Amino acid sequence: MSRARTPFSPPRPWRALRHGLLVMGLIGCLGASNADAAAIDRARAAFARGDLRAAQLEWRNAVRENPASAEVQASLAITSLEMGDGELAERAARAAMERGYDAAAGTALLVRAFLVSGRHDALLRAFPDPQPETPAGGQAAAGRALALMALGESTPAREAVATAQRLAPQAAEPDLAAAQLALLAGDRPAAEALVDGVLARSPNAVEAILRKGTLLFEKREPRAAAEMFSRALVLVPGQLSARLRRAEALMFLNETAPARTDIDAVLAVLPNMPPALYLRARLQVQARDWTGADASLQRMGNAVASYPDGYLMQAIARRGLGQTAQAEDAARRHVARQPGEPRGAKLLASFAIAANRPDDAVVTLNRLVDLGGADAEALDMLGRLQASAGRRREALAALQQAASLAPQDAGILARLAAARLAAGDVAGTAAAAEEALRRDPNRVGAREMLAFTALARGDLAAASAELDRLDPAARRGEAAGVLEGTLLVMRMQLPEARARLMTVLRDFPNSVAARLGLVRVAWIDGQGADVDRLLGEVLRIEPGNIEAAGQLGLASLPGAPRAAQARAILTAAQAAAPAQASLAMTLANVMILHGEGAAASRLLQSEPLRDNTAPALRLARTEAHVAAGEWAEAGAASRLALAETPDSIQARRQLAGLMVRERNFAGAETLLQQGLRAQPGDALLQQSLVRVVMEARGPDAALEQADRLAQQQAAQPASRMLRGDLLIALNRQEDAARAFAAANAEAPSAMLAHRTARAWLAAGRKDDAAAVLRAWTAQDPTDNVAQLMLSQFDIDAGRLADAETRLVGVVERRPDDAVALNNLAWLVSQHAGEPRAGRAQGLAERAYFLSPNADTADTLGWILARDGKAAAALPLLRQAVAGRPPGRTDPGAAYHLAFTLKATGAREEAMAVLGTALATTAPFSERAAAERLMLDLRGGR
C-alpha cells in the first residue's frame, strides 16, 4: 500500500489550535483548595500517564465535588478536547469562563471545542465581528479564520488572521492559523517559517510541535517527523493525535511494531476512533490479515468513505476473503471517487479480467489514461489486454507509454518488442528486445523476439542461433515451441512443423500462437476444413482475435469455396461470445455481403451489444441499417455516432453519404465543410466534399472545388492530389497525369510522383511513367515504391540485372516487403546453380511467410519444383491456382502445377490442369514450354 495523506489530520482547521502551555501548566499546577484533592490527584496522574479516559472520569468527579472551580472546569475541557469530545469540552469551557477563568485561555478552549465538532458556522455566530481589542479577541479571530478556511472563505479568513496577529501577537494560535492559510495557498515555505517562529517563542507549544512534525512528514522526512511527535508526547503523554501521527511516520519507516503499539494505545482510549481504525486496517492489510482488516474497516462505518484509501483497502481485504462481488463493488466506489488514481483502476480492471470481461477492464484503464493517471503497470496491463484482443495499434501505443515510464523494466520492454513485431516494426522489435536483454539477460520472451525478428528478415540462421541460446526451461516454453514450428514451416518441412506445433498444444492447450501456426500448415497443405476448425478454436480462446475473425470472414464471403463451413464456425464463435463487438461486426459484414442486411442489423442491436456505445459499433450499425434499407434508423444512428465522436471522419462521411441519398446536397456539403474546418488536411474529407459537389453540380464545379482546396495551405499536401484523382475518376487519364505533374512541379513529393507515373501508365504511356520515376529516384534513391515500380518496368523490358539491383536495395531497406522479396526471388531463380538457387528459395520462403497468397505460393512452389522438391512444391502450386479470384486464372501458375503433378506421377490431373491453361487466349511467357509438356503427357499415355 502506498502512503496516503495523513489520515488523522483531515482538512479541518481545528487541528491548528492546541494550547500547549495550558495543557502542561493548568493541569500540573491545580491546587486542591476548591475541589476534591484526591480526585484532582488521580486526574493529574491519569493524564500524565496518557490515560485520558480515566483522567476525564476523575475530572468529572472533581467538577461534581466543586462545580464552582474555573480551573477544574477548564481541565475537564482540555482533557475532553484531547479525546475529541467537542460537546463536553464546549460545556466545560463555557462553565470555566463563567466562573472567572482567563478570557483569552477560555476563548481558545471554546474555539477548539467548536472546531473539534466541526461546527464552523456555530463558531462564527458565537464570535461575530468585530472582535474586542484584547488577547481574547485575538483568540476568537484566530478561530474565526480557521472556520472560514474550512468553509472555503479565503478572503475573510485572511482578514481574520491579520486581526488575530494584531490582537495577540505573542500567542501561538494566530500564527498557526496564518500557517494554515499559507498551506491552503500552496506557500509551504511561508507556513514552515510561521511554525518555526512559534516554536522559537514557545518551544513547548504542542500544536506547533505537531504542525512541524506534519510538515516534516509531508516532506518525506519521517524520522525527523517521528522525533517531533515523540517530543509532543513527552509534554502531553495522552496526546492521541501525536500518537497517531507518530504511528504513521513509523509505518512509513516500516517499523510496524512500535506503530502498532501507538495505534493500540489510542484505540484503548477511543475504541471506535476512525483514524486509528484506519491505520490499524493498513497494518492488517500489509500483514495480509484480511479478516482483521475487514473488521477494522467495518467498525469505521460510513467514515471509510472520508479516507482516500478507505474503499481501496476494503476492496483488497474482501478480495483476500474471497468476497469477490463485495470487493469489486468497493473498488468501483474507490474509482468513482478517485478516477485518476491508478491503484484502484488497476484493481477494478483485475476484477473484470478475472470475470472474463476484458472489454470492461480496457474501458477502466483507458479512462485512467485519459485522465493522465496511468502508471507503467496500468499501461502494461492495458497493452496486454489490447494485444490479446488483437488490437495491435492500441497495444503498441500502451506499451510504448509504459516503457517510457519504466525504461528499466525488462518485462515491459519484452512485451513492447512483441507488440512491435505484431505491428510489423522489425527494427523496433529488435531494439526493444535487445534493451530488455541488456536490462535482464535472462528475460523470458526477449530472445524469442530477437529470433522472430530474424525470421521476419528471412535470416533463418540467426533465428536458429537465438533459439539455441535459450536455456532448457525457456526452450520448453510456448514461444520457443512456436518459433521452432515456424522455422520448420518456412523451410517447408510441414510434417515436422505440424508435429512440433502439436507438441506445443499438448503442453499449452490454450496456445493461440500454436493454433495460428497450424493454420498456416493446414493452409499450405490445402486442408481448408482444418484451417476453419483451428480458427474457430482461436476465437473460442480469444473471441477478440482479429486475425482469426478476419480469416474466417474472408472464407465466408460469397463464392468462397468453404463459405458455408467458415460462416457456420464464425456464427458459432459469435454466439459463444455475444458481447465481443469486433466479432459481431465481422459476422455482420459477412451477412451484409450475403444480402442479409436486416439480419446484420438485428445482430448488432441484440443483447448484450444493445447498450454498447463504442463509435465503431455505432458506425457498423449504420452500415447494417443501410444494407437493410432502414434509412431512418441509419440516419439516426449516424447522427448519434457523430454527436458522440464529432472528430470521427468515418461518421461524418457516413452521414454525408446518407444526406446525398436524400438529395440534401447542401446539408452534406455543410457537414463536410464543418469537418474540414476542424481537420483541414484530412484527405478523406476533402475527397468526400469533391464527390458531393460533383454529384450536386457536375464535374466542372467539382474541379473548381478541388482547385480551391489545393490553394489552402492548411489543406495541403493532400489537397494537391484532388484534381488528378477526380480526373482519373472521370477516366481522363492523360489530363490526370498532367495535373499530378503540375502539382509535383510546384511542390515535389513522393506521393505526387507515384500518382503521376500511375496515371501515365493507365494512359498507356509507360515510357512517360518511367521517366517520372527515374527523375524522382534521382532525387530520392531510397523511395521504395518508386524503385519497385521501376523494377517491374525493367523486368518487362528484359533488363533483369537492373531490376535485381533495384530490388536488392528495396529489400535491404524494407526486409519485410513481401512484394519485393517475391520479385527478387523470381529474378534470382532465373539463373541456375548454387548459391543463387538457395538464395532464391530463401527469399521466396520469406515472401510467402510474410504474405501467403497465390503469387508468393507460385514463386516458392516453382522454385522448389525446379529444384526437384515436387512433394513440397505441390501444395503451394495448388494454392497458386486455386487461390485466384473467380474468373481470374493464371496460365503460368497452371503450367507450374501441371509440371509438378507430372513429376509426382499424377499425369491425368496434370493434363487436365494444363488443358485449362492452354485453352486461354491470354499470353504467357511459358506457353511454348506448356505446349511441349502437353505433348509429352499425351505421348506417355
The answer on pLDDT for 929 being more than 70 is yes
Q: Which amino acid appears at position 440 of this protein?
A: D
pLDDT for the residue 24 = 37
**Burial call 47-81: b when 16+ CB within 10 Å, e when fewer:** beebbbebbbbbbbbbbebbeebbbbbbbbbbbbb
String of b and e for 500-525 (b: at least 16 CB within 10 Å)? bbbebbeebeebbbbbbbbbbbbbbb
At 69 the pLDDT is: 87
pLDDT (average), residues 379-406: 91
Residue 467 has pLDDT above 70, yes or no: yes
Question: What average pLDDT does the structure give for the chain?
Answer: 89
Contact assessment for residue 396 and residue 389, using Cβ atoms and an 8 Å cutoff? no
pLDDT of amino acid 941: 55
Q: Is the pLDDT of residue 832 over 90?
A: no
Q: Which helix (H) or strand (E) holds 88?
A: helix 86-98
pLDDT at 396 over 50: yes
Mean pLDDT on 110-122: 89
pLDDT confidence of 28, banded at 50, 70, 90? Answer: very low
Distance (Å, rounded) from C-alpha 457 to C-alpha 390?
23
pLDDT at 491 over 90: no
Element (H, E) at 509: none
Confidence of residue 33 (pLDDT cuts 50, 70, 90): very low
Give the model's confidence band at 735: pLDDT under 50 very low, under 70 low, under 90 confident, else very high: very high
pLDDT mean over 101-121: 89
Residue 123 pLDDT > 60, yes or no?
yes
Mean local confidence (pLDDT), 10-18: 32
Asked if pLDDT for residue 176 goes beyond 50, the answer is yes
Contact 786, 750 (CB under 8 A): yes
pLDDT tens digits, one per residue of 637-673: 899 889 888 888 999 999 999 999 999 999 999 999 9
Cα–Cα dist 172/202, whole Å: 8
pLDDT exceeds cutoff 60 at 5: no
pLDDT top residue among 245 and 612: 245
Q: What is the mean pLDDT of residues 520-549?
A: 90
Per-residue H/E/C for 746-757: HCCCHHHHHHHH
Instruction: Write down how long the chain is.
Output: 941
Report d(CA 705, CA 740) in Å as an integer.
16
- Over residues 192-218, the pLDDT tens digits come to 999 999 999 999 998 899 999 999 999
Sequence-distant (6+) residues with CB within 8 A of 295 are none
Band of residue 9 on the pLDDT scale cut at 50, 70, 90: very low
Task: State how far the Cα of 941 lies from the Cα of 939, in Å rounded to an integer.
Answer: 6
> Does pLDDT of 13 surpass 60?
no
Q: What is the pLDDT of residue 924?
A: 86
For the segment 599-637, what is each residue's pLDDT rounded down to a tens digit?
A: 999 999 998 898 887 888 889 999 999 999 999 999 998
Residues 6+ apart with CB under 8 A from 559: 886
887 has pLDDT over 80: no
- Specify the pLDDT at position 834: 53
Q: 286-300, 572-586, 601-615, 766-780 — which is least confidently predicted?
A: 601-615
Give the pLDDT band of residue 367 (cuts 50, 70, 90): very high
As a whole number of angstroms, the distance between CA 339 and CA 345 comes to 7
Q: Which residue has the higher pLDDT, 62 or 857?
A: 857
Whether residue 4 has pLDDT greater than 50: no
Are the CB atoms for 914 and 930 separated by under 8 Å? yes
Question: What is the model's pLDDT at position 220?
Answer: 92
Spatial neighbors of 286 by CB under 8 A, at least 6 apart, are 1, 256
